[in-house]
Protein backbone atom coordinates (compact mmCIF):
# COMPACT_ATOMS: atom_id res chain seq x y z
CA UNK A 1 0.00 0.00 0.00
CA UNK A 2 1.26 3.46 -0.91
CA UNK A 3 0.79 6.14 1.75
CA UNK A 4 0.56 9.92 1.44
CA UNK A 5 1.16 12.63 4.01
CA UNK A 6 -1.88 13.21 6.17
CA UNK A 7 -2.84 16.31 8.15
CA UNK A 8 -4.34 15.37 11.52
CA UNK A 9 -5.95 17.38 14.32
CA UNK A 10 -4.48 16.52 17.73
CA UNK A 11 -7.11 15.20 20.11
CA UNK A 12 -5.34 16.86 23.04
CA UNK A 13 -4.27 20.37 21.98
CA UNK A 14 -6.48 20.61 18.85
CA UNK A 15 -3.49 21.74 16.78
CA UNK A 16 -2.59 20.30 13.39
CA UNK A 17 0.24 17.85 12.81
CA UNK A 18 1.40 15.82 9.82
CA UNK A 19 1.87 12.07 9.60
CA UNK A 20 4.42 11.37 6.88
CA UNK A 21 4.38 8.32 4.55
CA UNK A 22 7.41 6.80 6.32
CA UNK A 23 5.52 7.10 9.61
CA UNK A 24 2.64 5.07 8.23
CA UNK A 25 5.04 2.36 7.10
CA UNK A 26 6.51 2.17 10.60
CA UNK A 27 3.06 1.91 12.21
CA UNK A 28 2.14 -0.82 9.75
CA UNK A 29 5.37 -2.72 10.51
CA UNK A 30 4.77 -2.77 14.26
CA UNK A 31 0.98 -3.17 13.88
CA UNK A 32 -0.26 -0.07 15.69
CA UNK A 33 -2.76 2.56 14.52
CA UNK A 34 -1.51 6.05 13.61
CA UNK A 35 -1.36 8.44 16.59
CA UNK A 36 -4.21 10.80 17.42
CA UNK A 37 -2.02 13.10 19.55
CA UNK A 38 0.63 15.37 18.02
CA UNK A 39 4.33 14.66 18.74
CA UNK A 40 4.56 17.35 21.44
CA UNK A 41 1.48 16.09 23.27
CA UNK A 42 2.68 12.50 23.00
CA UNK A 43 5.92 13.53 24.71
CA UNK A 44 3.94 15.51 27.30
CA UNK A 45 2.07 12.32 28.15
CA UNK A 46 5.38 10.52 28.73
CA UNK A 47 6.75 13.42 30.80
CA UNK A 48 3.81 12.94 33.15
CA UNK A 49 5.19 9.51 34.10
CA UNK A 50 8.83 10.44 34.74
CA UNK A 51 9.56 11.31 38.34
CA UNK A 52 13.29 11.53 37.89
CA UNK A 53 14.48 13.53 40.87
CA UNK A 54 11.72 14.10 43.45
CA UNK A 55 12.71 11.78 46.30
CA UNK A 56 11.11 10.77 49.58
CA UNK A 57 11.77 8.42 52.48
CA UNK A 58 9.20 5.74 53.12
CA UNK A 59 8.98 2.33 54.77
CA UNK A 60 9.18 -0.74 52.54
CA UNK A 61 5.81 -2.50 52.48
CA UNK A 62 7.51 -5.90 52.83
CA UNK A 63 10.40 -5.59 55.30
CA UNK A 64 9.45 -2.28 56.92
CA UNK A 65 12.88 -0.76 56.34
CA UNK A 66 12.95 2.98 55.73
CA UNK A 67 14.23 3.60 52.21
CA UNK A 68 14.63 6.26 49.52
CA UNK A 69 11.91 6.24 46.87
CA UNK A 70 10.21 8.31 44.19
CA UNK A 71 6.80 7.51 45.72
CA UNK A 72 5.62 9.81 48.51
CA UNK A 73 4.29 8.19 51.70
CA UNK A 74 0.73 9.26 50.85
CA UNK A 75 0.74 7.38 47.53
CA UNK A 76 -1.67 4.39 47.56
CA UNK A 77 0.75 2.16 45.65
CA UNK A 78 2.71 -0.59 47.38
CA UNK A 79 6.46 0.05 47.40
CA UNK A 80 9.32 -2.40 48.05
CA UNK A 81 12.92 -1.46 48.72
CA UNK A 82 15.48 -2.66 46.19
CA UNK A 83 16.56 -5.87 48.01
CA UNK A 84 12.95 -6.88 48.64
CA UNK A 85 11.72 -6.13 45.13
CA UNK A 86 14.52 -8.17 43.56
CA UNK A 87 14.33 -10.88 46.21
CA UNK A 88 12.39 -14.14 46.25
CA UNK A 89 10.12 -13.16 49.13
CA UNK A 90 7.18 -12.42 46.86
CA UNK A 91 5.72 -13.59 43.56
CA UNK A 92 4.43 -11.05 41.00
CA UNK A 93 2.29 -13.81 39.45
CA UNK A 94 0.29 -14.09 42.68
CA UNK A 95 -1.39 -10.83 41.67
CA UNK A 96 -2.51 -12.28 38.34
CA UNK A 97 -6.12 -11.76 37.26
CA UNK A 98 -8.41 -12.29 34.31
CA UNK A 99 -9.19 -9.53 31.87
CA UNK A 100 -12.75 -8.20 32.02
CA UNK A 101 -14.03 -7.42 28.51
CA UNK A 102 -16.91 -5.39 29.92
CA UNK A 103 -14.48 -2.71 31.20
CA UNK A 104 -11.78 -0.44 29.72
CA UNK A 105 -8.21 -1.75 29.75
CA UNK A 106 -6.72 1.29 31.51
CA UNK A 107 -9.21 1.13 34.41
CA UNK A 108 -8.20 -2.46 35.08
CA UNK A 109 -4.50 -1.71 34.61
CA UNK A 110 -4.69 1.10 37.17
CA UNK A 111 -6.16 -1.36 39.69
CA UNK A 112 -3.32 -3.80 39.01
CA UNK A 113 -0.80 -1.01 39.57
CA UNK A 114 -2.28 -0.34 43.01
CA UNK A 115 -1.95 -3.98 44.05
CA UNK A 116 1.45 -5.03 42.68
CA UNK A 117 4.52 -3.72 44.58
CA UNK A 118 6.67 -1.16 42.80
CA UNK A 119 10.44 -0.66 42.95
CA UNK A 120 11.41 2.15 45.30
CA UNK A 121 13.90 3.46 42.73
CA UNK A 122 15.14 2.38 39.33
CA UNK A 123 18.77 1.72 40.15
CA UNK A 124 20.90 -1.37 39.50
CA UNK A 125 24.33 -2.77 40.31
CA UNK A 126 25.54 0.21 42.34
CA UNK A 127 27.59 0.66 45.53
CA UNK A 128 26.93 3.37 48.12
CA UNK A 129 24.58 5.14 45.72
CA UNK A 130 21.27 5.06 47.59
CA UNK A 131 20.12 8.46 46.36
CA UNK A 132 20.14 7.76 42.62
CA UNK A 133 17.35 7.03 40.15
CA UNK A 134 17.28 5.85 36.52
CA UNK A 135 20.89 4.89 37.15
CA UNK A 136 23.21 1.90 37.29
CA UNK A 137 26.77 0.57 37.72
CA UNK A 138 27.75 3.45 40.00
CA UNK A 139 29.95 3.85 43.05
CA UNK A 140 29.68 6.63 45.62
CA UNK A 141 27.13 8.61 43.60
CA UNK A 142 24.83 10.93 45.55
CA UNK A 143 21.64 12.74 44.57
CA UNK A 144 22.29 12.13 40.89
CA UNK A 145 19.95 10.95 38.17
CA UNK A 146 20.42 9.07 34.91
CA UNK A 147 24.02 8.38 35.98
CA UNK A 148 25.79 5.31 34.60
CA UNK A 149 29.22 3.84 35.30
CA UNK A 150 30.09 6.87 37.40
CA UNK A 151 32.12 7.21 40.57
CA UNK A 152 32.25 9.93 43.23
CA UNK A 153 29.62 12.08 41.53
CA UNK A 154 27.36 14.54 43.37
CA UNK A 155 24.19 16.42 42.39
CA UNK A 156 24.42 15.62 38.69
CA UNK A 157 22.18 14.46 35.83
CA UNK A 158 22.91 12.23 32.83
CA UNK A 159 26.57 11.63 33.67
CA UNK A 160 28.26 8.70 31.93
CA UNK A 161 31.60 7.00 32.64
CA UNK A 162 32.82 9.93 34.72
CA UNK A 163 34.27 10.52 38.17
CA UNK A 164 34.87 13.27 40.71
CA UNK A 165 32.16 15.55 39.33
CA UNK A 166 29.65 17.81 41.05
CA UNK A 167 26.68 19.81 39.77
CA UNK A 168 27.02 18.66 36.17
CA UNK A 169 24.46 17.86 33.49
CA UNK A 170 24.85 15.73 30.35
CA UNK A 171 28.50 14.77 30.66
CA UNK A 172 29.66 11.91 28.44
CA UNK A 173 32.75 9.76 28.23
CA UNK A 174 35.31 10.07 30.98
CA UNK A 175 34.71 13.49 32.45
CA UNK A 176 36.80 14.04 35.58
CA UNK A 177 37.09 16.80 38.19
CA UNK A 178 34.25 18.79 36.68
CA UNK A 179 32.01 21.38 38.32
CA UNK A 180 28.97 23.05 36.77
CA UNK A 181 29.70 21.57 33.34
CA UNK A 182 26.88 21.09 30.83
CA UNK A 183 26.67 19.07 27.58
CA UNK A 184 30.34 18.21 27.43
CA UNK A 185 32.60 15.26 26.57
CA UNK A 186 36.00 13.92 27.60
CA UNK A 187 37.05 16.93 29.62
CA UNK A 188 39.16 17.29 32.76
CA UNK A 189 39.36 19.79 35.61
CA UNK A 190 36.90 22.30 34.15
CA UNK A 191 34.43 24.57 35.90
CA UNK A 192 31.40 26.43 34.57
CA UNK A 193 31.42 25.30 30.97
CA UNK A 194 28.89 24.60 28.23
CA UNK A 195 29.56 22.52 25.11
CA UNK A 196 33.14 21.59 25.91
CA UNK A 197 34.98 18.70 24.28
CA UNK A 198 38.49 17.42 24.95
CA UNK A 199 39.21 20.37 27.23
CA UNK A 200 41.22 20.64 30.42
CA UNK A 201 41.60 23.39 33.02
CA UNK A 202 39.05 25.62 31.30
CA UNK A 203 36.93 27.97 33.40
CA UNK A 204 33.80 29.80 32.27
CA UNK A 205 34.08 28.69 28.66
CA UNK A 206 31.42 28.16 26.00
CA UNK A 207 31.73 26.01 22.87
CA UNK A 208 35.43 25.15 23.14
CA UNK A 209 37.25 22.07 21.80
CA UNK A 210 40.71 20.73 22.32
CA UNK A 211 41.50 23.61 24.64
CA UNK A 212 43.42 23.85 27.88
CA UNK A 213 43.96 26.68 30.32
CA UNK A 214 41.36 29.02 28.88
CA UNK A 215 39.23 31.46 30.88
CA UNK A 216 35.97 33.31 30.12
CA UNK A 217 36.21 32.52 26.42
CA UNK A 218 34.04 31.08 23.67
CA UNK A 219 34.16 29.51 20.20
CA UNK A 220 37.78 28.33 20.59
CA UNK A 221 39.46 25.42 18.81
CA UNK A 222 42.71 23.86 20.01
CA UNK A 223 43.82 26.88 22.00
CA UNK A 224 45.85 27.31 25.17
CA UNK A 225 46.23 30.23 27.57
CA UNK A 226 43.39 32.29 26.18
CA UNK A 227 41.89 34.84 28.58
CA UNK A 228 38.61 36.47 27.54
CA UNK A 229 39.21 35.37 23.96
CA UNK A 230 42.65 36.99 23.84
CA UNK A 231 45.83 34.95 23.44
CA UNK A 232 48.51 35.26 26.13
CA UNK A 233 51.74 33.52 26.97
CA UNK A 234 51.61 30.94 29.75
CA UNK A 235 53.17 33.36 32.24
CA UNK A 236 50.83 36.21 31.26
CA UNK A 237 47.79 33.93 31.48
CA UNK A 238 48.66 32.62 34.95
CA UNK A 239 49.21 36.17 36.15
CA UNK A 240 45.75 37.13 34.85
CA UNK A 241 44.11 34.22 36.62
CA UNK A 242 45.73 35.18 39.92
CA UNK A 243 43.79 38.45 39.79
CA UNK A 244 40.69 36.42 40.69
CA UNK A 245 39.97 34.92 44.10
CA UNK A 246 38.32 31.78 42.74
CA UNK A 247 37.70 30.42 46.22
CA UNK A 248 35.61 33.53 47.01
CA UNK A 249 31.82 33.42 46.69
CA UNK A 250 31.53 37.15 45.91
CA UNK A 251 34.15 36.84 43.15
CA UNK A 252 32.41 33.79 41.70
CA UNK A 253 29.04 35.57 41.63
CA UNK A 254 30.53 38.32 39.46
CA UNK A 255 32.15 35.74 37.19
CA UNK A 256 28.90 33.84 36.82
CA UNK A 257 27.08 36.97 35.70
CA UNK A 258 29.89 37.75 33.26
CA UNK A 259 29.70 34.18 31.92
CA UNK A 260 25.96 34.48 31.40
CA UNK A 261 26.56 37.67 29.43
CA UNK A 262 29.28 35.92 27.40
CA UNK A 263 26.88 33.14 26.45
CA UNK A 264 23.98 35.41 25.55
CA UNK A 265 25.79 38.33 23.89
CA UNK A 266 29.46 37.55 23.40
CA UNK A 267 29.34 34.19 21.63
CA UNK A 268 28.29 32.81 18.27
CA UNK A 269 25.78 29.98 18.54
CA UNK A 270 25.75 27.27 15.95
CA UNK A 271 22.16 26.93 14.77
CA UNK A 272 22.11 23.32 15.92
CA UNK A 273 24.40 20.85 17.66
CA UNK A 274 24.56 17.96 15.22
CA UNK A 275 27.73 16.02 14.49
CA UNK A 276 28.74 13.04 12.37
CA UNK A 277 25.16 12.48 11.27
CA UNK A 278 23.61 11.39 7.99
CA UNK A 279 20.18 12.64 6.91
CA UNK A 280 19.25 13.61 10.46
CA UNK A 281 17.37 16.56 11.95
CA UNK A 282 17.36 17.51 15.60
CA UNK A 283 19.41 19.04 18.39
CA UNK A 284 22.28 17.47 20.31
CA UNK A 285 22.37 14.39 18.11
CA UNK A 286 25.60 12.53 17.40
CA UNK A 287 26.62 9.61 15.15
CA UNK A 288 23.08 9.15 13.84
CA UNK A 289 21.62 8.06 10.52
CA UNK A 290 18.06 8.88 9.43
CA UNK A 291 17.11 10.25 12.85
CA UNK A 292 14.63 13.15 12.65
CA UNK A 293 12.74 15.48 14.96
CA UNK A 294 14.85 14.21 17.84
CA UNK A 295 16.83 15.58 20.76
CA UNK A 296 19.81 14.30 22.74
CA UNK A 297 20.43 11.14 20.75
CA UNK A 298 23.67 9.19 20.42
CA UNK A 299 24.21 6.44 17.87
CA UNK A 300 20.65 6.22 16.56
CA UNK A 301 19.36 4.96 13.22
CA UNK A 302 16.04 5.12 11.36
CA UNK A 303 14.21 6.73 14.28
CA UNK A 304 11.92 9.70 14.89
CA UNK A 305 10.61 11.74 17.82
CA UNK A 306 13.35 10.59 20.19
CA UNK A 307 14.06 12.42 23.46
CA UNK A 308 17.25 11.33 25.21
CA UNK A 309 18.47 7.97 23.89
CA UNK A 310 21.56 5.87 23.26
CA UNK A 311 22.14 3.09 20.73
CA UNK A 312 18.76 2.52 19.15
CA UNK A 313 17.37 1.57 15.75
CA UNK A 314 13.92 1.60 14.12
CA UNK A 315 12.21 3.38 17.01
CA UNK A 316 9.65 6.15 17.33
CA UNK A 317 8.32 8.23 20.21
CA UNK A 318 10.97 7.24 22.72
CA UNK A 319 11.93 9.01 25.96
CA UNK A 320 15.11 8.03 27.84
CA UNK A 321 15.52 4.62 26.25
CA UNK A 322 18.55 2.85 24.85
CA UNK A 323 21.58 0.60 24.87
CA UNK A 324 22.41 -2.68 23.20
CA UNK A 325 19.50 -4.36 21.39
CA UNK A 326 17.09 -1.42 21.59
CA UNK A 327 15.11 -1.65 18.36
CA UNK A 328 11.56 -1.73 16.99
CA UNK A 329 10.25 0.11 20.04
CA UNK A 330 7.41 2.62 20.16
CA UNK A 331 5.99 4.93 22.82
CA UNK A 332 8.31 3.79 25.62
CA UNK A 333 9.81 5.64 28.56
CA UNK A 334 12.67 4.87 30.94
CA UNK A 335 13.61 1.56 29.35
CA UNK A 336 16.96 -0.11 28.69
CA UNK A 337 17.95 -2.94 26.35
CA UNK A 338 14.46 -3.59 25.01
CA UNK A 339 13.40 -5.05 21.67
CA UNK A 340 10.01 -4.98 19.96
CA UNK A 341 8.35 -3.26 22.92
CA UNK A 342 5.41 -0.87 22.81
CA UNK A 343 3.84 1.43 25.39
CA UNK A 344 6.19 0.46 28.22
CA UNK A 345 7.32 2.30 31.35
CA UNK A 346 10.49 1.53 33.36
CA UNK A 347 11.16 -1.82 31.69
CA UNK A 348 14.66 -3.30 31.37
CA UNK A 349 16.00 -6.23 29.33
CA UNK A 350 12.68 -7.16 27.73
CA UNK A 351 11.49 -8.54 24.39
CA UNK A 352 7.99 -8.40 22.96
CA UNK A 353 6.45 -6.54 25.91
CA UNK A 354 3.48 -4.16 25.55
CA UNK A 355 1.51 -1.91 27.89
CA UNK A 356 3.60 -2.94 30.87
CA UNK A 357 5.16 -1.15 33.81
CA UNK A 358 8.39 -1.94 35.70
CA UNK A 359 8.97 -5.36 34.15
CA UNK A 360 12.47 -6.82 34.00
CA UNK A 361 14.23 -9.63 32.10
CA UNK A 362 10.99 -10.79 30.51
CA UNK A 363 9.43 -11.50 27.15
CA UNK A 364 5.93 -11.67 25.69
CA UNK A 365 4.03 -9.72 28.33
CA UNK A 366 0.91 -7.62 27.92
CA UNK A 367 -0.58 -5.38 30.59
CA UNK A 368 1.79 -6.51 33.35
CA UNK A 369 3.30 -4.78 36.38
CA UNK A 370 6.60 -5.62 38.15
CA UNK A 371 7.19 -8.95 36.45
CA UNK A 372 10.68 -10.48 36.85
CA UNK A 373 11.82 -13.15 34.37
CA UNK A 374 8.28 -13.73 33.12
CA UNK A 375 6.93 -15.04 29.83
CA UNK A 376 3.52 -15.23 28.17
CA UNK A 377 1.69 -13.28 30.85
CA UNK A 378 -1.32 -10.94 30.73
CA UNK A 379 -2.29 -8.91 33.77
CA UNK A 380 0.40 -10.88 35.67
CA UNK A 381 -1.32 -14.19 34.89
CA UNK A 382 0.61 -16.96 33.15
CA UNK A 383 -0.72 -18.53 29.90
CA UNK A 384 0.46 -21.04 27.35
CA UNK A 385 1.97 -19.47 24.23
CA UNK A 386 -1.11 -20.28 22.12
CA UNK A 387 -3.58 -18.93 24.67
CA UNK A 388 -1.43 -15.86 25.30
CA UNK A 389 -1.30 -14.88 21.64
CA UNK A 390 -5.04 -15.42 21.17
CA UNK A 391 -6.04 -13.48 24.30
CA UNK A 392 -3.60 -10.67 23.55
CA UNK A 393 -5.16 -10.07 20.10
CA UNK A 394 -8.64 -10.21 21.58
CA UNK A 395 -7.73 -7.55 24.19
CA UNK A 396 -6.11 -5.34 21.54
CA UNK A 397 -9.30 -5.53 19.47
CA UNK A 398 -11.32 -4.60 22.56
CA UNK A 399 -9.02 -1.62 23.17
CA UNK A 400 -9.28 -0.52 19.54
CA UNK A 401 -13.08 -0.49 19.69
CA UNK A 402 -13.17 1.85 22.69
CA UNK A 403 -10.27 4.01 21.45
CA UNK A 404 -7.62 2.93 23.97
CA UNK A 405 -5.07 1.14 21.80
CA UNK A 406 -2.21 3.00 20.15
CA UNK A 407 -1.02 5.52 22.73
CA UNK A 408 1.07 5.65 25.88
CA UNK A 409 -0.51 5.27 29.32
CA UNK A 410 -2.85 8.15 30.25
CA UNK A 411 -1.33 10.62 32.75
CA UNK A 412 -4.49 10.17 34.84
CA UNK A 413 -3.22 6.74 35.98
CA UNK A 414 0.41 7.76 36.46
CA UNK A 415 1.69 6.71 39.90
CA UNK A 416 3.19 10.18 40.43
CA UNK A 417 1.93 13.77 40.35
CA UNK A 418 2.70 15.98 37.38
CA UNK A 419 4.57 18.47 39.58
CA UNK A 420 6.91 15.64 40.64
CA UNK A 421 7.88 14.89 37.05
CA UNK A 422 10.17 16.30 34.39
CA UNK A 423 7.03 17.70 32.78
CA UNK A 424 7.08 20.42 35.42
CA UNK A 425 10.35 21.63 33.84
CA UNK A 426 9.93 20.91 30.14
CA UNK A 427 6.22 21.74 29.93
CA UNK A 428 5.21 23.59 33.13
CA UNK A 429 1.53 23.87 34.03
CA UNK A 430 -0.28 25.29 37.02
CA UNK A 431 -2.06 23.07 39.50
CA UNK A 432 -5.39 24.22 38.08
CA UNK A 433 -4.34 23.33 34.51
CA UNK A 434 -3.14 19.88 35.56
CA UNK A 435 -6.26 19.06 37.56
CA UNK A 436 -8.51 20.35 34.77
CA UNK A 437 -7.01 17.64 32.54
CA UNK A 438 -7.83 15.01 35.14
CA UNK A 439 -4.14 14.46 35.84
CA UNK A 440 -2.52 14.11 39.28
CA UNK A 441 -0.92 16.74 41.48
CA UNK A 442 1.17 16.03 44.58
CA UNK A 443 0.41 18.37 47.50
CA UNK A 444 3.15 17.12 49.84
CA UNK A 445 6.44 17.31 47.99
CA UNK A 446 9.22 16.71 50.48
CA UNK A 447 11.07 19.75 51.79
CA UNK A 448 11.63 21.75 54.94
CA UNK A 449 11.65 25.49 55.37
CA UNK A 450 12.63 27.74 58.24
CA UNK A 451 14.78 25.11 59.99
CA UNK A 452 18.14 26.66 59.11
CA UNK A 453 20.75 26.80 61.86
CA UNK A 454 22.97 29.31 60.09
CA UNK A 455 22.24 32.39 58.02
CA UNK A 456 23.68 33.11 54.58
CA UNK A 457 25.49 36.16 55.98
CA UNK A 458 27.35 33.90 58.41
CA UNK A 459 28.85 31.67 55.71
CA UNK A 460 32.52 32.54 55.07
CA UNK A 461 33.18 34.08 51.67
CA UNK A 462 36.10 31.73 50.96
CA UNK A 463 35.92 27.95 50.99
CA UNK A 464 39.17 27.63 52.96
CA UNK A 465 37.50 29.43 55.85
CA UNK A 466 34.55 27.01 56.03
CA UNK A 467 34.95 24.80 59.14
CA UNK A 468 34.12 21.09 59.24
CA UNK A 469 31.44 21.93 61.80
CA UNK A 470 29.32 23.19 58.88
CA UNK A 471 28.57 19.53 58.10
CA UNK A 472 26.18 19.68 61.07
CA UNK A 473 24.51 22.92 60.00
CA UNK A 474 21.24 23.41 58.10
CA UNK A 475 21.29 26.00 55.31
CA UNK A 476 18.56 27.94 53.53
CA UNK A 477 18.58 28.31 49.73
CA UNK A 478 19.01 31.95 48.70
CA UNK A 479 16.57 31.39 45.83
CA UNK A 480 13.73 29.13 47.06
CA UNK A 481 14.42 29.23 50.85
CA UNK A 482 14.34 25.42 51.06
CA UNK A 483 16.65 23.90 53.67
CA UNK A 484 19.59 21.75 52.63
CA UNK A 485 22.75 20.24 54.10
CA UNK A 486 26.38 19.91 53.07
CA UNK A 487 27.83 16.39 52.95
CA UNK A 488 31.38 15.44 53.84
CA UNK A 489 32.26 14.37 50.28
CA UNK A 490 30.81 17.61 48.97
CA UNK A 491 32.91 19.73 51.31
CA UNK A 492 36.03 17.75 50.44
CA UNK A 493 35.38 18.27 46.72
CA UNK A 494 34.78 22.02 47.13
CA UNK A 495 37.96 22.51 49.16
CA UNK A 496 40.02 20.40 46.76
CA UNK A 497 38.81 22.38 43.73
CA UNK A 498 38.75 25.74 45.58
CA UNK A 499 35.07 26.34 44.97
CA UNK A 500 33.07 28.45 47.45
CA UNK A 501 30.21 26.89 49.39
CA UNK A 502 27.00 26.98 47.28
CA UNK A 503 24.26 29.29 48.55
CA UNK A 504 21.54 27.54 46.53
CA UNK A 505 20.02 24.13 47.13
CA UNK A 506 20.86 21.30 44.69
CA UNK A 507 17.52 21.59 42.90
CA UNK A 508 17.88 25.31 42.20
CA UNK A 509 21.39 24.70 40.94
CA UNK A 510 19.98 22.04 38.62
CA UNK A 511 17.32 24.44 37.33
CA UNK A 512 20.00 27.03 36.55
CA UNK A 513 21.83 24.51 34.37
CA UNK A 514 18.54 23.38 32.83
CA UNK A 515 17.78 26.94 31.72
CA UNK A 516 21.12 27.21 29.92
CA UNK A 517 20.39 24.27 27.62
CA UNK A 518 18.59 24.52 24.26
CA UNK A 519 14.95 23.48 24.38
CA UNK A 520 13.59 20.24 22.95
CA UNK A 521 11.82 22.08 20.20
CA UNK A 522 12.70 23.48 16.78
CA UNK A 523 11.84 26.90 15.37
CA UNK A 524 12.24 28.15 11.80
CA UNK A 525 14.70 31.05 11.76
CA UNK A 526 17.18 32.93 9.60
CA UNK A 527 20.91 33.33 10.13
CA UNK A 528 21.68 36.45 12.18
CA UNK A 529 25.05 37.09 10.54
CA UNK A 530 25.43 40.46 8.83
CA UNK A 531 29.11 40.30 7.94
CA UNK A 532 29.74 40.73 4.22
CA UNK A 533 33.18 39.15 4.55
CA UNK A 534 31.39 35.81 5.08
CA UNK A 535 30.47 35.69 1.40
CA UNK A 536 27.06 37.38 1.42
CA UNK A 537 25.97 40.97 1.05
CA UNK A 538 24.40 42.44 4.17
CA UNK A 539 22.41 39.80 6.08
CA UNK A 540 22.99 36.10 5.44
CA UNK A 541 20.05 34.58 3.51
CA UNK A 542 20.34 31.08 4.98
CA UNK A 543 17.36 29.66 6.89
CA UNK A 544 17.19 26.69 9.20
CA UNK A 545 15.44 24.98 12.09
CA UNK A 546 16.97 25.63 15.50
CA UNK A 547 16.25 24.96 19.18
CA UNK A 548 16.83 28.67 19.89
CA UNK A 549 13.45 30.40 20.05
CA UNK A 550 13.17 33.71 18.14
CA UNK A 551 12.83 35.70 21.37
CA UNK A 552 16.08 34.38 22.88
CA UNK A 553 19.07 36.77 23.08
CA UNK A 554 21.75 34.52 21.55
CA UNK A 555 23.37 35.25 18.18
CA UNK A 556 22.47 32.22 16.06
CA UNK A 557 24.43 31.55 12.86
CA UNK A 558 24.09 29.05 10.04
CA UNK A 559 26.76 26.38 9.62
CA UNK A 560 28.78 28.35 7.07
CA UNK A 561 28.88 31.62 9.02
CA UNK A 562 29.49 29.81 12.30
CA UNK A 563 32.51 27.95 10.91
CA UNK A 564 34.00 31.25 9.80
CA UNK A 565 33.76 32.61 13.35
CA UNK A 566 35.25 29.79 15.42
CA UNK A 567 39.01 29.79 15.63
Q: Please give the Cα distance from 125 to 425 (Å, whole number).
A: 29
Does 282 share its domain with 407? yes
Residues 178 and 263 in one domain: yes
Phi, psi of 10 (to 5 degrees): -65, 130
Do 257 and 318 lie in one domain? The reply is no
Torsion from C-alpha of 420, 424, 425, 428, nearest 10 degrees = -170
pLDDT over 90 at 83, yes or no: yes
Q: What pLDDT digit, counting tens, does each position of 19-38 carry?
A: 999 999 999 999 999 999 99
Tens of pLDDT, residues 273-300: 999 999 999 999 999 999 999 999 999 9
Number of domains in the chain: 4
Check residue 112 and give its pLDDT. 98
Q: What is the mean pLDDT of the chain?
A: 96
The verdict on residue 499 lying in a domain is no
- Which among 247, 270, 293 is the end of a domain? 270
Please give the Cα distance from 118 to 110 (Å, whole number).
Answer: 13
Per-residue pLDDT averaged across 340-356, rounded?
97
Question: Both 256 and 356 in a single domain?
Answer: no
In a domain, 446, yes or no: no
Which SS3 state, helix, strand or coil, does residue 462 take? strand
Q: What is the reported pLDDT for 534?
A: 85
Q: Rounded to an integer, what distance in angstroms lies between the CA atom of residue 371 and that of residue 359?
A: 5
Confidence class for position 563, pLDDT limits 50, 70, 90: very high
Q: Which of 545, 418, 522 is nearest to 44 (CA)?
A: 418
Q: What is the pLDDT of residue 385?
A: 98
Give me the pLDDT at residue 375, please. 98
Classified as helix, coil or strand, 189 is strand
Instruction: State pLDDT tens for residues 155-214.
Output: 999 999 999 999 999 998 889 999 999 999 999 999 999 999 999 999 999 999 999 999
pLDDT tens, position by position, 538-560: 899 999 999 999 999 999 999 99
> 221-256 pLDDT, tens per residue?
999 999 999 999 999 999 999 999 999 999 999 999
Average pLDDT over residues 304-309: 97
Tell me how far apart the alpha carbons of residues 459 and 252 are, in angstroms, rounded to a whole number.
15
Q: Is 10 among the domain residues?
A: yes
Rounded to whole angstroms, how far apart are CA atoms 514 and 516?
Answer: 5
How many CA atoms, within 13 angstroms, populate the side-chain half-sphere of residue 343?
Answer: 24
Q: Judge whether residue 1 has pLDDT over 80.
A: no
Helix (H, G, I), strand (E, B) or coil at 533: helix
Residue 58 to residue 68: CA distance in whole angstroms: 7
Say if residue 249 is in the same domain as residue 328.
Answer: no
What percent of the chain stands above pLDDT 90? 95
User: Do residues 264 and 284 both lie within one domain?
Assistant: no
Asked if residue 490 is part of any domain, the answer here is: no
**Domain range holding 547?**
523-563
pLDDT of res. 535: 84
User: What confidence score (pLDDT) does residue 370 get?
Assistant: 98
Give residue-wise pLDDT tens across range 500-525: 999 999 999 999 999 999 999 999 99
Cβ within 8 Å of residue 417, ≥6 positions away: 434, 440, 441, 442
**Pair 388, 377: CB distance under 8 Å:** yes
**Length reported for the chain:** 567
341-365 per-residue burial string, b: 16 or more CB within 10 A, e: under 16: bbbbbbbbbbbbbbbbbbbbebbbb
Amino acid sequence: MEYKSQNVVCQNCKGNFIIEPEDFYFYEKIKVPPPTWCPECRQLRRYAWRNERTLYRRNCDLCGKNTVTIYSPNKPHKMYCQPCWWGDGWDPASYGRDFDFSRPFFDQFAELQLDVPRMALLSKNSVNSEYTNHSGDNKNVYLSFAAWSAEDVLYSTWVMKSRDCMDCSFVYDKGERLYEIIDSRTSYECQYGLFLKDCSSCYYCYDCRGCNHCFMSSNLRNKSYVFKNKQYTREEYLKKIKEYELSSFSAREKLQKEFQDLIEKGSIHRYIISERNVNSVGSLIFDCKNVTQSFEVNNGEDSKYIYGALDLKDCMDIYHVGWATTALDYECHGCTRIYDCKFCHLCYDDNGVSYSDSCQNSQNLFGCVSIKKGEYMIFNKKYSKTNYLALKEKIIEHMRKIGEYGGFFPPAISPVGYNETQGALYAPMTKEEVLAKGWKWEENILGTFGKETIFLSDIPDKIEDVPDSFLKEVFSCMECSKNYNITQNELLFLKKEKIPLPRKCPNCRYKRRFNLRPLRKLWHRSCMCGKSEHGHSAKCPNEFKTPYAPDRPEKVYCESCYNKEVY
